[in-house]
Every structure is written in C-alpha cells, then in structure tokens.
Chain A
Amino acid sequence: GENVEQHPSTLSVQEGDSAVIKCTYSDSASNYFPWYKQELGKGPQLIIDIRSNVGEKKDQRIAVTLNKTAKHFSLHITETQPEDSAVYFCAAPKQAGTALIFGKGTTLSVSS
C-alpha cells in the first residue's frame, strides 16, 4: 500500500520569505496529490492539488511541483504571511482505493 513521508515536521520563516514542504510517496501508480492546511481546532482544508499529467500547478502564492520519477512532490508558499501559519498535510491515494494516506504534517510558523 501507499506510504507518504513528509519533511520537515516544523518550519519557521520570517514574513515575506518562502516556505517549501516536501513529501515522498511509495506507490508509483498514484496519480493524485492534494495538500491540506489545518488551522487549530479546524478540519483539513484543501488548498491545492496536482494530478500526474502535469509537473507544476500554481494558485497565487501557492504552487505544487511533482516529480513522478523520483516519487516526490512539494508545496511552495511564496511571500509568506502570518495567516499562513498552520499545519500542512500532503496526501496520496491508497493503492487501488479511494482512501487518502496522509503525511505526518508540517507545522509552519510565520513570524512578523
């Protein structure tokens, strides 16, 4: 089955800096990779996703890159703001199933 590893577990940046979070997956058949943002006491919020037919996708200050050969994908946040502070989770679909397997999460702290 799928296994998702996420790094780093914590990330502290200054406001305006960029932040990069990386995930690796094990199942080469996986073809959909979402990123979720979870604020304290709330449910995971989908912020961006990518499918395996593209290598990069952007949405304003957020971008995701995918390297299928190396089986890793990354979240890039540019011009970080204090409201970007949250826990970010990557995920990939379980082999032959509909379940999402989540990484362990990255706690991003943006200080002003």
Chain B
Amino acid sequence: EPEVTQTPSHQVTQMGQEVILRCVPISNHLYFYWYRQILGQKVEFLVSFYNNEISEKSEIFDDQFSVERPDGSNFTLKIRSTKLEDSAMYFCASSESFETQYFGPGTRLLVL
C-alpha cells in the first residue's frame, strides 16, 4: 500500500540554525500539507500546497517557514532560523482530492 515517507525521523539542531524536513508524498497525490504536533498536544495545520504554490497557511507559518517541491517526488519544509518553540513532531500529509489526507510517520525536531 502506498504511503507517505519522511526523513529524517529525528533531527536535533541548535537554536538559530536552518533545518530542512523532507517528505515523499504518495505518487498520484496532488495536495500536500505540513502539520506539527507539540508533545502531548493536538495536531496543528501549518501549510497546504497545490499546483506548485501555497494554497493556504496558518498563523504559525510565518516568514521563518517555507515549502518547496524541488522535483516530482519531494516536498520540503524549511525553517530558516529555528527557535526553541519550534521543537515538535512535524508531519507531512498528502491527498488525491482535498479531503482524505494520509500522514507520514513524522520528523521529531528538537531545538536546543
């Protein structure tokens, strides 16, 4: 069964450093998303991406964040200058239509 994959599974970085989280969505899907989950809390929407542009973003997704689909398979989330409060699990999701979203296993980001 096709699934969303994410790398790395864990990332530790120093405050102020840039990180890039990578995702490979399900191959025939057209809509891509990033969500985050702070430990013990609910899943929060960050950004959605369709047709090579951002279709929607939340207030969390400020100028420190960017997304890119550099080729036909990868979808990346970049945090330019990480802060302590960026520590969370980051989930990529994809969908064929804009309803049924399938999530990846996540990247655990720890900012020290």
Whether A45 pairs with B103 at a CB distance below 8 angstroms is yes
Q: Which of B55-109 contact A (CB under 8 A)?
A: 55-56, 58, 91, 95, 98-106
Which partner residue on chain B sits nearest A91 by CB separation? B43
Measured between beta carbons, the chain B residues less than 8 angstroms from A51 are 99
How far, in whole Å, are A94 and B55 apart by their CA atoms in the complex?
13
Instruction: List A contacts of B42 (CB < 8 A).
Output: 89, 102-105
Do A42 and B106 have beta carbons less than 8 Å apart?
A: yes
Residues on A with beta carbons closer than 8 Å to the beta carbon of B58: 99
Q: In whole Å, how far is A99's beta carbon from the nearest beta carbon of chain B?
A: 4
Q: Which residue of A lies closest to B89 (CB)?
A: A43
Q: Does A101 lie within 8 Å of B105, measured CB to CB?
A: no
Nearest residue (CB) in A for B108 is A41
Bound Cα distance A45, B100 (Å): 11
A36 an interface residue at 8 Å Cβ cutoff?
A: yes
CB <8 Å contact, A98 and B31: yes
Q: Which residue of the partner chain B has the closest CB to A98?
A: B98
- In A61-112, the 8 Å CB interface with B consists of 89, 91, 93-94, 97-105
Partner pick for A46 among B45, B56, B98, B100, CB 8 A cutoff: B100
CB B5 to nearest CB in A, in angstroms, measures 10
A99 touches B48 (CB 8 A): yes
A43: chain B residues at CB < 8 Å are 4, 91, 103-106
Minimum distance in angstroms from A6 CB to a CB of chain B = 8
Query: In the complex, A32→B95 CA distance in Å?
Result: 14
* B contact residues vs A (CB 8 Å cutoff): 4, 31, 33, 35, 41-45, 48, 50, 55-56, 58, 91, 95, 98-106
